[in-house]
Chains A and B, each alone.
Chain A
Amino acid sequence: MHIEVRNISKTFHGHKAVDNVSFSIERGKLIGLLGPSGGGKSTLLRILAGLETPDSGDIFINGKRVNDVQPQLRGIGFVFQNYALFKHMNVFDNIAFGLTIRKASKAEIKTRVGELLDLTGLRGFEHRYPHQLSGGQRQRVAFARALAPKPDLLLLDEPFAAIDAKVRKELRTWLKQLIGTLGITSIFVTHDQDEAVEVADEMLIVQKGRLEQQGSPVHIYTDPQTAFVAGFIGHSTVVEQPESLRGFGGSSLTAGAKALIRPEFVEVGREREIPFPSAAEKGKVRHIFFRGAHLELDVEVGSNRLSAHRSLDQEPLQPGDEVSVLIHRLYVISDESATIVENPLKVDPLPVHI
């Protein structure tokens, strides 16, 4: 394992910012540290960097315990949320800073900075000062500066938060490719799940200082382990009385438990459009929202309100229409855990073999 964190805790003025967190990361992986704001993600990153000292627990990099190693000597590159560029230095000097500290020769610095200028597409901007650059360019200077001394680990604190939406999308694709090419182990903090899902090889979900789940985006998406993860990932609707939904009454559901249903688990349409009519039930369309590539339907089923997607190519529905609603599966959540339950009626009652 490249990075190993064991039982890290950190308390600020009685508030547990990081609570007994352990995880390990393989070399070369791009890790997304995802969670709601104020959940302890940044603190965790700063502890790894050595900018904060944990109250307890150990950090190992390449098998070596680094708790007592000063941040200057950990060989970690750090990209700050607001870039933190040196305003009085031009782009070249900003990128070269880490190399001059290491007393690299002039020629060496020139080559390395040149490499990074090409890599980040900043060639031609080396004599500009930070205030003469756009947000995306500044961000790239910050990457280049962190990468210049060839760090073993790259940490990024909300690297795209201050950039407008379109540039952000370009930048994160670019970053993923760049990190893939360099093969450098990287951890980035984000509160935007789309960003984490798109960029990360593996995600760490952190909430209230605790590590909720670690795994690949697909794994976390399809198999959330805790109630928090199930609700946080995707755009889930909470269902207060899942036992009243057709197919989910009685069975494995404990009475009084709640369930989460994602829009993609729900199929809504005219009766003939639904593949297993026997497993579907009646509902009423309440609202229809245009979401660009698809429609989002707000459907009333009994006392429950569900959200579903519908393609623009399908026969249009109107608010107030009676529809069939098929719920493929849902997550039953108890205090801590989340269990996936498939709709048991979804078997063809009259199988016809051709």
Chain B
Amino acid sequence: MKSSASSKAKPRSILPGFGISLGFTIFYLSVLVIIPLAGIFVKTSGMTPGQFWDTVASARVIASYKISFMTSFFAALINLVFGLLIAWVLVRYRFPGKKLVDSLIDLPFALPTAVAGIALTAIYAPNGWIGSLLEPLGIKVAFTPLGITLALIFIGLPFVVRTVQPVLQDLDNEVEEAAVMLGAFRLRTFRRIILPELIPPLLTGFALAFARGIGEYGSVVFISGNMPMKTEIAPLLIMTKLEQYDYKGATAIAMVMLIISFILLLLINYLQWRSNRRVITE
């Protein structure tokens, strides 16, 4: 506590270029992020509060929010678990074709999302390869929220893997051996020693996958079927409004999404900051 007080009082950083680099950062963020996003608020402010409320709180819009946030959340959650598993396998074991698997991870980034959406729909539709196998079991994937989640899992796959991988790589083998020598078997070593160190990257990966899922449009529109109240995501609703030349309505929906996303990301960042504080390396 004492040391943090003295470091705050540090007179000047010895690293050069603070002024110019911070100036550039702010300028860059303004041009690319803040000003365009502020435009949404400006556009929306043309509405009366009544109009705004009617647009944003209509049953169809509320339903689309729910679908967007729920599917993104579950997709990110599933990516959290399996992303960790994939990162673990890629870091801890050697096997033939490892490099190939490693590069497969990034493919969802490179693929146009519409292509992913069409491919997933073709496979999971009731007459598709996997869809036709699941149909008799009563599981419908395409044109349900499950299908949306699937598309979002596909899109968000690389995030958790790529954030966890380097941290897992850098973990000190001796720390695990220390746990072993103190009597901890594998599961406990993983749970008490390895997992706590992975929480910050897991949270980062989760936040990225979640944010990506909320904004995703291209791959979802094909597999969701876009049924109002059931499988209509918020970004699609915004597109629909735009096509009807209801620009204000579109920005109003976007604004609410933006605010909710921002709050959620802030929350995740806070959690991450808290867990990070304890795992600082010297």
Contact = CB atoms under 8 A, between A and B. Distances in A.
Interface residues of A, number: 27
A102 B178 contact: no
A97 interface: yes
Contacts of A80: 174, 177-178
B282 interface: yes
Looking at B174, B181, B183, the one whose CB has the most chain A CB atoms below 10 A away is B181
A107 interface: no
Interface string A172-203: 00000000000000000000000000000000
B280 interface: yes
A108 to B, nearest CB: 15
B183 A131 contact: no
B81 interface: no
A71 B180 contact: yes
A167 interface: no
B181 A49 contact: yes
B188 A146 contact: no
Given A88-B196, A88-B278, A129-B278, A82 B180 contact: no
Interface string A90-120: 0000000110011000000000000000000
A49 B179 CA distance: 13
Given A80-B177, A84-B178, A131-B282, 18 more contacts: A49-B181, A72-B185, A80-B174, A82-B174, A84-B172, A84-B177, A86-B175, A86-B179, A86-B192, A87-B175, A87-B280, A97-B179, A98-B183, A101-B182, A101-B188, A102-B183, A131-B280, A149-B183
A88 B181 contact: no
Given A86-B193, A87-B281, A72 B177 contact: no
Interface in B164-217: 172, 174-175, 177-185, 188, 192-193, 196-197
Interface string B86-112: 000000000000000000000000000
A85 B278 CA distance: 13
Contacts, number: 69
A35 interface: no
Query: Chain B interface secondary structure, helix, strand, loop or mixed?
Result: helix
A162 interface: no
B267 interface: no
A77 B181 CA distance: 6
Interface in B249-282: 278-282
Nearest to B280: A131
Contacts of A72: 180-181, 183-185
Contacts of B197: 87-88
A97 B178 CA distance: 10
A88 B183 CA distance: 19
Interface string A213-255: 0000000000000000000000000000000000000000000
Nearest to A72: B183
Contacts of A132: 3
A87 B170 CA distance: 13
A77 B177 CA distance: 11
B175 A84 contact: yes
9 contacts: A51-B177, A71-B181, A72-B183, A78-B177, A86-B192, A98-B183, A101-B183, A146-B181, A148-B182
Contacts of B280: 87, 129, 131
A76 interface: yes
A328 interface: no
B172 to A, nearest CB: 6
B129 to A, nearest CB: 45
A165 interface: no
Contacts of B188: 101
Contacts of A102: 183
Contacts of B174: 80-82, 84
Nearest to A148: B182
B149 to A, nearest CB: 32
A83 to B, nearest CB: 8
A131 B175 CA distance: 15
A97 B175 CA distance: 12
Contacts of A84: 172, 174-175, 177-178
A73 interface: yes
B186 to A, nearest CB: 10
A145 interface: yes
B281 A98 contact: no
Nearest to B188: A101
A195 B212 CA distance: 58
